[in-house]
Amino acid sequence: MQTRQMTVLEAITTRRSIPQFKTDPVPKELIQRLLDVAVWVPNHRLTDPWQFHVLGEKTKRKFAETRRDFRNISLPNPDAPEVQPALQKIIDDTVNTPVIIIVTARAHRPGVAGGELLGNIRGGLCVHARSLGRGSWHVLPDRSDPTISPTAADAESRG
């Protein structure tokens, strides 16, 4: 993997979130490199409270269906023909994203959410991906989704 490494300033100032991706597969070595750096994000009391989940193809499909189903229940008339293309787009966009990394964090004590930590990790992953010449996009799940805990609600990072 021969890539010119950018300076930190260049990576920060040129990073953009654009939810359009090339279809090229992302090498496993690059994903591992991103995760190796992500664990160096500062965290409270050095507890390393995060978990990284790199979704495989089958899991991406299930994740896409879960995203679609959640959006579906929030619509006044989910069976209307005019909403079907939008629901299918959720599936297509998710499945066609080359890599999805979901980041979750557990609180080190009750009542302490990991939102700030997760923001640091998302930012770090996005900037590091940019420094390696890759694009990224992060999404915050809908906090009204009852299946997402307050800690995990700040968690999705796509790249």
Q: Is the full-model pTM beyond 0.75?
A: no
CATH of the domain at 51: 3.40.109.10
Residue 108 sits in the same domain as residue 156: yes
Residues 155 and 94 reside in one and the same domain? no
Residue 74 CA, chain-centre distance (Å), reads: 22
Residues 19, 44, single domain; the answer is yes
For residue 68, the enclosing domain spans 56-98
Convert the chain into a string of H (helix), E (strand) and C (coil).
CCCCCCCHHHHHHHCCECCCCCCCCCCHHHHHHHHHHHCCCCCHHHCCCEEEEECCHHHHHHHHHHHHHHHHHCCCCCCCHHHHHHHHHHHHHHHCCCCEEEEEECCCCCCCCCHHHHHHHHHHHHHHHHHCCCCEEECCCCCCCCCCCCCHHHCEEEC
Could you report the per-residue pLDDT of 50-109, keeping only the tens digit for each? Answer: 788 899 889 999 999 999 998 898 888 989 999 999 999 999 999 998 888 888 776 655
Q: Are both 50 and 80 inside the same structural domain?
A: no
Same domain, 39 and 105: yes
pLDDT in tens, 124-147: 888 878 887 787 777 665 555 544
124 and 113 within one domain: yes
